[in-house]
Structure 1
């Protein structure tokens, strides 16, 4: 007699937990930040190699003039990922020191971490807006 049921429980029967969601987004933000660092290093290296190349300046002008909104959006998203990753990293360091290990405090520290990340990102975006839309280097 064959019973039609799955071999193991599927993800759809589990209710997503706040801690697992934060853990997944911590890994995603870390991978995104590593990718952004890699692309920025490659972009600056290409710029160093082709400083006398005329088409490089045309490409750079196109990026800064026509895609300014895209660059600013990418910088803001990177700032949000950095603030989230940093805040969650501080939360993990506090766990390593033995703080906030009870279940109720884990959820409370997660909510506080999320608000801190949003607040830091918002402060950076406001600072960027007050500097006349220039990307701070």
Structure 2
């Protein structure tokens, strides 16, 4: 390990080395929404105790978009596990489909 520390080179590439494309953004968003859902449940519980007004609208705003995005993207991930849809054009198509499905399903859930 000391030879790597003495070599003055990074152990792994920095994030600025990569060019950001849609499938990277989708992956980062999936991680972010997973963390947001985990911490959001706790924050929602605390904030709904103190928030004046309509509890249902507060719940819809805090929950539906990250929940539908995370579920949709995890279904996409499960479809890729057997090796399907791993080519770049297919990754872009499924990424756009996830964003469209997320918007439509979260608006649909909020309207009910």
Q: TM-score scaled by structure 2?
A: 0.71
Q: 2:65: which partner in 1?
A: 80
Q: What SS is found at the alignment partner of 1:121? A: helix
Give the corresponding residue for 1:32.
36
Counting only pairs closer than 5 Å after superposition, residues 1-137 of structure 1 correspond to structure 2 as 11=15, 14-39=18-43, 43=46, 60=49, 63-65=51-53, 68=54, 72-73=57-58, 75-127=60-112
Question: Structure 1 residues 111-120 or 8-17, which shifts more?
Answer: 8-17
What is the CA–CA distance in structure 2 between the aligned matches of 1:123 and 1:84, rounded to whole Å?
A: 13
CA shift in 2, pair 1:73/1:14, >3 Å: farther
SS in 1 for 2:98: helix
Deviation of residue 24 (structure 1)?
0.9
Q: For the pair shown, which has the larger CA radius of gyration, 1 or 2?
A: 1
Question: 1:13 Cα shift?
Answer: 6.3
Per-residue deviation, 1:33: 0.5
TM-score (norm 1): 0.60
Root-mean-square deviation (Å): 2.8
**Mean Cα displacement is larger for which, 106-115 or 80-89?**
106-115
Number of equivalent positions: 101
Q: Any gaps of 5 or more consecutive residues in structure 2?
A: 1-8
Shift of 1:36: 2.4
